[in-house]
C-alpha cells in the first residue's frame, strides 16, 4: 500500500512539473509584431548636423550647433546654447519644440535643453536657444528630438478620391422600377464614408490653446506636449464620433 501511495505522489509531481514548464514556455514567447518600432534619433558629434524625426520616422528638422564652446561642471553648469534649425519637411509648422541633449565621451547624458520656434516654413532656417540647459560636462556628441510638430490646417492632406473605372460587363437585364423611398435609402447607404469625416473636419474653426498667456495652435489628431512642473503632459484634440 505504501508503495502504491508513493507511486501516485510521484506521478502528480511529474505532471505538475510538466505543466509548469509548458506555462513558462508559453509566457516567454515573444510576438514578432513587437519587433517593429519607430526609429529613434541618433547621436552625432558636435560638429555634425543632428536630425529630428516625425511620427512616421521621416526627417522633419535638422539642427547644427551655433555655439562652438560647450562645457560645464556640476558646480558650474553651462546654462545655454545656440542652435540653427532647418525645416526639412514639406509642411508649414505653426509651432515646433523639442529637446537638445548632450553626452560625454562615455555616452552618458550630461545636459538637456528645451528649444522652440514658430511660423516655420519649408526649407527655412531659424536660430533658437536652450535657456533651460544645465550642462555638467564637456560634451562630445549630441542629438535633437522634436516633441511638437504642429502644422497649419491648410497643410493637412485631403482625402484622395478614387476615379471610377468604366464597367466592361454586359448590361444587366431590365428589372421592375424601384420605389423612390427605397432608391434614396440605397443611395444614402452606399455613400462614401470618408465624405462625412472630411465635412466634419472642414467645418471645424481654427483651434488654439492659451497656457499662462502663451497661445499655441491646436490641430485635431496632432499631439501637443507641454511641461508641467517635472511632468510632460500630452494633449490630443479629436472630433467626437
> Is 220 inside a domain boundary?
no
The Cα–Cα gap between 112 and 34 comes to 30
Q: Is residue 233 part of a domain?
A: no
- 119 lies in some domain: yes
pLDDT category at 20 given cuts 50, 70, 90 is very low
Does 191 score more than 60 pLDDT? no
Which range of residues forms the domain containing residue 81? Answer: 44-155
Report whether pLDDT(183) > 90: no
* 237: DSSP letter: -
pLDDT digits 0-9 by tens, 51-75? 999 999 999 999 999 998 999 999 9
68 in any annotated domain: yes
> Residue 90 domain-assigned?
yes
Task: Classify residue 204: in a domain, yes or no.
Answer: no
Give the pLDDT score at 199. 54
Q: Looking at residue 33, what is its pLDDT?
A: 43
100-120 residue pLDDT tens: 999 999 999 999 999 999 999
Beta strands in the chain (DSSP E): 44-45, 50-53, 59-65, 82-87, 93-103, 109-120, 125-129, 141-151, 207-211, 214-218, 224-228, 231-235
Specify the number of domains making up the chain: 1
118 within some domain: yes
Q: What is the pTM of this model?
A: 0.54
Has residue 212 got a pLDDT over 80?
no
* Mean pLDDT for the stretch of residues 192-218: 65
Residue 11 falls within a domain, yes or no? no
Provide the CATH number for the domain around residue 55. Answer: 2.60.40
Amino acid at each position: 500500500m505504501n508503495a502504491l501511495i508513493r507511486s501516485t505522489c510521484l506521478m502528480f509531481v511529474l505532471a505538475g512539473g510538466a505543466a509548469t514548464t509548458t506555462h513558462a514556455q508559453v509566457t516567454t514567447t515573444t510576438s514578432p509584431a513587437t519587433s517593429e518600432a519607430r526609429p529613434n534619433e541618433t547621436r552625432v558629434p558636435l560638429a555634425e548636423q543632428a536630425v529630428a524625426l516625425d511620427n512616421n520616422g521621416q526627417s522633419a528638422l535638422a539642427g547644427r550647433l551655433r555655439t562652438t564652446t560647450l562645457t560645464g561642471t556640476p558646480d558650474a553648469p553651462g546654462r545655454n546654447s545656440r542652435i540653427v534649425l532647418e525645416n526639412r519637411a514639406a509642411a508649414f509648422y505653426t509651432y515646433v519644440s523639442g529637446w537638445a541633449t548632450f553626452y560625454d565621451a562615455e555616452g552618458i547624458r550630461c545636459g538637456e535643453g528645451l528649444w522652440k520656434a514658430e511660423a516655420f516654413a519649408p526649407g527655412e532656417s531659424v536660430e533658437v536657444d536652450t535657456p533651460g540647459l544645465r550642462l555638467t560636462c564637456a560634451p562630445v556628441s549630441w542629438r535633437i528630438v522634436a516633441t511638437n510638430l504642429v502644422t497649419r490646417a491648410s497643410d493637412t492632406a485631403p482625402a484622395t478620391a478614387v476615379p471610377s473605372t468604366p464597367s466592361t460587363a454586359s448590361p444587366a437585364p431590365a428589372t421592375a422600377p424601384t420605389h423612390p423611398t427605397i432608391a434614396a435609402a440605397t443611395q444614402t447607404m452606399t455613400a462614401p464614408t470618408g465624405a462625412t469625416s472630411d465635412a466634419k473636419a472642414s467645418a471645424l474653426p481654427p483651434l488654439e490653446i492659451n497656457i499662462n498667456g502663451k497661445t499655441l495652435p491646436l490641430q485635431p489628431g496632432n499631439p501637443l506636449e507641454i511641461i508641467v512642473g517635472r511632468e510632460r503632459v500630452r494633449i490630443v484634440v479629436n472630433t467626437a464620433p
